[in-house]
Amino acid sequence: MNHLELGVKGEDLALHFLMNLGYRLKAKNYRFKHLELDLIFEKEQELIVVEVKTRSNAASGEPYSFVTKSKQKQIIKATNHYIHEIDWHGETRFDIVSILYHHDLQKIEHIPHAFYPC
């Protein structure tokens, strides 16, 4: 499985994982210019933007550790555009779903409130 296929598989796993927890999907792979938001949900009147990181092993670190400050700023910028576009006035939070996936063996870790706007 190549890098792009692994990413798509991870997003699908995260989508189903969160929907089973009662999250309602609002958007998948939302694009603003060159930026992309992996998954956007709503639950209990809260907008939840989810960054999905998938790796085949943790040799170079857990997948969530690759959501750098720079990546967080990009996510926040795209989220601000999305919020304006849909005229959202409620609370917003940023989660990470970290997935280790190798030959159908998987470890899914959901990190609510993973980071906050600066």
Q: Residue 112 sits in a domain of what CATH number?
A: 3.40.1350
Q: Does 90 reside within a domain?
A: no
Element counts in the chain: helices (H) and strands (E): 2, 5
Domain contains 71? no
Residue-wise pLDDT for 42-76, tens only, equals 999 999 999 999 999 888 888 999 999 999 999 99
Q: Is 76 a member of any domain? A: no
- For the entire predicted model, the pTM comes to 0.94
Residue with tokens 């997935």: 99
Q: Does a structural domain hold residue 32? A: yes
In a domain? residue 117: yes
Q: Looking at the predicted structure, is the pLDDT value of residue 96 above 90?
A: yes
Per the structure, the complete domain to which residue 19 belongs is given by 1-62+101-118
Q: Is residue 115 part of a domain?
A: yes
Confirm whether 9 is domain-assigned: yes
Specify the number of domains making up the chain: 1
φ and ψ at residue 44, rounded to 5 degrees: 50, 50
Please answer whether residues 115 and 102 qualify as being in contact, where contact means their C-beta atoms are separated by less than 8 angstroms: no
Q: Quick: pLDDT tens for 7-26.
A: 999 999 999 999 999 999 99
pLDDT at 1 over 80: no
- The sheet carrying 24-32 orders its strands as 24-32, 35-43, 46-55, 91-102, 105-115
Q: Is 65 helix (H, G, I), strand (E, B) or coil?
A: helix
Q: Would 19 be classed as within a structural domain?
A: yes
